[in-house]
């Protein structure tokens, strides 16, 4: 089984929507209209070259996602970091995160931010392993920040 991380194509949108909805449902998080709208038109919400929506494909199937979205003033936000339940603990999340961080460096971003749920401990360990620092937390959200090296 070969893993490929690459920018999503418009024809991937239905499969991405199913994946994200299943992961959010699994963790008791809402698949609301904002998320649905973003995932229904990736090219509009993640316009290259300053933003991108990545998918991880295993044997042609979308098994993970992450996105880089320009936030202005040299900052990017990472969003939609999800891996299908059947494909976790194989390093796919790490490969997606690493691809997103390379993209951020190539785009010249100086800072990267992301949010996750407090109970997503595995994801938080991954973020910390890449240098992210927790900047705030409440009962529903943990916010992380990374200053990119050389910035």
- Going by DSSP bridges, is the β-strand pair 111-116/75-83 parallel, antiparallel, or unpaired? parallel
Q: What is the mean pLDDT of residues 103-132?
A: 94
Q: CA nearest 68: which of 58, 87, 81?
A: 81
Tell whether the model's pLDDT for residue 38 goes beyond 60. yes
Q: How deeply is 73 buried, as exposed, middle or buried, from its count of CB atoms within 10 A (0-12, 13-18, 19+)?
A: exposed
- Domains annotated for the chain, with CATH where assigned, are 3-112 (3.40.630.30)
Please state the pTM of the whole predicted model: 0.92
Q: Which of 112, 108, 30, 20 is nearest to 69 (CA)?
A: 112
DSSP code at position 141: -
Residue range 72-97, pLDDT digits in tens:
889 999 999 999 989 998 999 999 99
Per-residue pLDDT at 81: 94
Give the mean pLDDT of 95-100.
Answer: 97
Quick one: which H or E segment has residue 108?
Answer: none
């Amino acid at each position: 089984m070969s893993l490929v991380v690459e920018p999503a194509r418009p024809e991937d949108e239905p499969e991405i929507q199913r994946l994200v909805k299943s992961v959010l449902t699994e963790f008791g998080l809402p698949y609301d209209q904002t998320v649905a709208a973003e995932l229904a038109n990736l090219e509009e919400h993640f316009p290259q070259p300053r933003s991108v929506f990545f998918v991880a494909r295993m044997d042609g199937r979308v098994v993970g996602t992450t996105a880089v979205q320009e936030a202005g003033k040299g900052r990017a936000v990472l969003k939609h970091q999800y891996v299908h339940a059947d494909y976790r603990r194989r390093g796919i999340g790490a490969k997606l995160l690493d691809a997103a961080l390379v993209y951020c460096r190539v785009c010249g971003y100086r800072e990267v931010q992301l949010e996750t749920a407090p109970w997503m401990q595995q994801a938080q360990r991954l973020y910390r392993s890449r240098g992210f620092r927790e900047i705030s937390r409440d009962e529903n959200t943990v916010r992380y920040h990374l200053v990119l090296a050389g910035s």
